[in-house]
Structure 1
């Protein structure tokens, strides 16, 4: 009998397998399931990928193997239907969801679900294609829990989850903004980032907690947001004692003792319904690839030739940064144009929106003509959602991505190209690489995916996720300050004593604000020193330029986290852009202003206007997303609290920055309409229908009002805008 490797080779390379080969390989696979089920599953997946090569008379045997391996979701595909024995049919029936029509769980999903039905908490590490998130929907659809909190790291993931769970709206109110009140009558599903959990004031109970991508708890993975996630988890855990479900990929363990302390079971699985094949491109070109000059250009040429060769299959290209995404996708577009590749027949409604509201010169518009998409953390939500939708529907062939492919969105493809070996300024480590590789292949579509390595993969290492609020070594000040004295393990440490040295009343404000502890303490001291000489710069409601310059300057100097990347932003540029944004309330103004700034900066350098406009758009969208939609409003709310306290100490009238902060965060939309932006509706569309929506309607009823009045049919709306409103407001039937 041939070995597993030889069988896999035959499945991939032979044109057909005769009866003896098909039968013998099935027989071997059947016996292998008893001794090495992982290798057996790999053979079965590759057999599914090459189904037409197998001798037809052996198909029933292979269908039985699909069932024996627990691949029940695949048995719903037409070509694999046909179980011939009653016991197998019964086993298949046992894997059917109790609550979601037409959904079957695979073997290990069902085992995991059984744990979720017990009183134990569940921490699971499993591959991207495992289907961990389907179990979230199963829990929701069971209606066992009244108040469910789902924490995910990005708004894009939360938006995707919201769309999946909308069908349960009769039983649960979906809460996506901290200004929404919870429903005391029916259930609530809180779809929040960790920061929003910490800000939310209206939890009255939490029965079930989900943390997706829970590895972000780790204090050792250089994530500036880990403190927020630790504080959110610990707060909910000790306040409400909910059952919890933590999920993530490629993790070998967690802080020792945590599972026992919290009645949890840690489950690690390599079970997958797809397989991946590695192709080491870099080995073919030893010494010829590089990061600069001719070697960099040659590496790009090899990439573009490969992408053209793979034009009939979808491919995701991993890039180190938004700049690389834009640069590479643009060069590839030029490459296709130069070789006179055929432009796309696909029509993307997003294109007309870009022409009307950005510019017809934007490279993303040109990319779409060749079915090229881009995805990074800088684009507006409705754009990224549209691009992923186009890709998931098979319309886009190519998707150039940053690390958002790892943690920002659920998508996969036949081919993944590991092109850059950096993640921002840092090296891609084994954990990140495993997550990138995990996107190769797509359940129910591509049984076997390809990972093309343009760089040597990082060396394998064991991934243990520390939970700082529990382990406390290391622990950041922003987590330590939130712990009660009884929770602190080392009360004699210099770190803890430094926190205790902060006066109690100041400490409470610092805790509530939840950002850099000693940076906030410095702001207290600075405001006290300046309160008389600079009072007019401190006490304001709507800022003049000098007032904003003073406050944002204090924030920049004290609230930026160690290791946080701020480039290309500077203190002066942030003040200037924030003030102008508040004054003009117009993105296109910012883009044009930024373009003029870059043109002055570049002077007489031979850089085309189109390239500079591309950079101006990218920078502006990045500023909108990173600075205006979170950082600046958060900073302003932090200092607003501190100045109110300091002014009260001196008997002076305080300012109030909250109104201005909210306007910046919500793109100057009316308060009751800001939820529409959360739902992925372009601001341009919201402004066109806002006059038809009563100002006194609360934000929850706004959604129903638009649906009932069919405002998405307004003649002023572009087809793209109608589509975005329709898909987010016209709710699906109950699941």
Structure 2
């Protein structure tokens, strides 16, 4: 007998296994339970979702993506308190449209920390931004200053550990070292850093992969990105400049997320090509030399990427 707790959605889901829009499979569904058709023809129940259920508990992020009709009185009051705080700080709405996985109150608290930076800390950050724009590397003091600011807001435990752990007699986070080696020597540089810590080759490769593709490209970019928009907002208000005219971490964020700065470099990187091919597209004056160093495999991949890029140019 078919479990009486099953709903119409469950029965239709089973029937759907016979074919996905007649594309993957097509055929008949043979049902051995006599009441299967009763279930599938019964009145369907809506699938509950917390953003459309007034009784479902909601976190702060939910408050701003849920219609008021699905918010309890206390939810609406909490939302109004945050909006009032936003107006008091004179923070425009567009600031909150980026990195929505980080709550408004966290962004406001981060903004307050930035507003209270010392002259020395601001100088460190400005040195970092100049270093990034000049040769795509980090100034250790500037980067560490930012990590110290964002650390209380970091929820991901692996990222938090990389910020908090500094080793013996160290003033810089492990994350600071890892970002430096990644920017200056790429994926292999990050592996070498792990090897210098007496990690095995397998361990160094697996930890570097985890760091680059999970922590760096998502977690680090997310938190640095939020710092960046709040920092630029703070400076734009103090200097009476346009938000978009303030120099920030934008170039670093692009590099960390895409491993490339140019359009063609990002296209190549998206296809997971060897780093030498990305370097070819990123180079402005050394392309022929880089290309001459390709091995046979890299030459084959390069030709495929060239076809893709040429096709996009012609579209």
Please, what TM-score do these two structures have when normalized by structure 1? 0.30
Q: CA deviation at 1:587?
A: 1.9
Larger relative contact order (CA 8 Å, sep ≥ 6)? 1
Q: Is it true that 1:478 corresponds to 2:64 in the alignment?
A: no
Distance 2:112 2:275 in 1: 40
The 1:625–1:569 alpha-carbon spacing in structure 2 relative to 1, beyond 3 Å, is farther
Q: Determine the C-alpha separation between the residues in 2 that align with 1:652 and 1:533.
A: 21
Give the number of the structure whose alpha-carbon radius of gyration is greater: 1
Choose the corresponding residue for 1:595, options 195, 209, 223.
Answer: 195
SS state at 1:680 partner:
coil
Structure 1: 5+ residue stretches without partners: 1-37, 39-69, 74-94, 98-102, 110-255, 259-465, 600-608, 696-713
Q: Size of the alignment, in residue pairs?
A: 251
Q: How far is 1:662 from its partner?
A: 1.0
2:298 aligned with 1:721: yes
Aligned to 1:328: none
Alignment of 1:160-175 (within 5 A): none
Of 264, 268, 278, the match for 1:676: 268
Residues in 1 aligned to 2:146 and 2:19: alpha-carbon distance in whole angstroms: 59
Q: What CA distance in whole angstroms lies between the structure 2 residues aligned with 1:687 and 1:651? A: 37
Which ranges in structure 2 are unaligned for 5 or more consecutive residues?
A: 1-10, 12-16, 30-44, 133-137, 164-172, 309-315
Q: How much has 1:624 moved relative to structure 2?
A: 0.8
CA gap 1:691/1:668 in 2 versus in 1, 3 angstroms: closer
Supply the distance in 1 between the matched residues of 2:24 and 2:222 (Cα, whole angstroms): 43
Which ranges of 4 or more aligned residues in structure 1 deviate by more than 4 Å? 70-73, 688-693, 722-731
| Aligned mates of 1:621, 1:72 — CA distance in 2 | 37
How is 1:601-612 mapped onto 2 (pairs within 5 angstroms)? Answer: 612=200
Q: 2:101 aligns with which of 512, 515, 531?
A: 515
Tell me, in whole angstroms, the C-alpha distance in 2 between the residues paired with 1:511 and 1:676.
29
- The 5 A counterparts of 1:554-565 are 554-560=149-155, 564-565=156-157
1:613–1:568 CA distance, 2 compared to 1 (3 A)? farther
Question: How many angstroms apart in 1 are the aligned matches of 2:254 and 2:214?
Answer: 15
Aligned to 1:646: 234
How far apart are residue 657 of structure 1 and its match? 1.0
The CA deviation string for residues 270-313 of structure 1, in whole angstroms up to 9 with x for no partner, is xxxxxxxxxxxxxxxxxxxxxxxxxxxxxxxxxxxxxxxxxxxx
Give the SS at the match of 2:116.
helix
2:223 to 635, 644, 660: 635
Displacement of 1:716 in angstroms is 4.7
Residue 594 of structure 1: CA displacement? 1.5
- The residue aligned with 1:534 is 121
> 2:144 & 2:108 partners in 1: Cα distance?
20
Label 1:503 to 1:544 Cα distance change in 2 as closer, same or farther (>3 A).
Answer: same
Task: Kindly provide the CA deviation profile for residues 657-715 of structure 1, in whole angstroms up to 9, marking residues without a partner as x.
Answer: 1012112222245343211111232222333466699x9xxxxxxxxxxxxxxxxxx77
| Correspondence list, 1:388-403, <5 A | none
Tell me how far apart the structure 2 counterparts of residues 658 and 551 of structure 1 sit (CA, whole Å): 14
Structure 2 length-normalised TM: 0.64
Deviation per CA, 1:442-467: give whole Å up to 9, x if none: xxxxxxxxxxxxxxxxxxxxxxxx53
Kept in 2: contact 1:585–1:668 (CA 8 A) = no
1:73-129 CA distance string (max 9 Å, x none):
9xxxxxxxxxxxxxxxxxxxxx9x6xxxxx6632379xxxxxxxxxxxxxxxxxxxx
- In the alignment, the residues of structure 2 paired with residue 481 and residue 627 of structure 1 have an alpha-carbon distance, to the nearest angstrom, of 27
Question: Is 2:211 aligned against 1:623?
Answer: yes
State the Cα distance separating 1:549 from its structure 2 match. Answer: 0.8
Higher strand share: 1
* Cα pair distance change 1:669/1:503, threshold 3 Å: closer
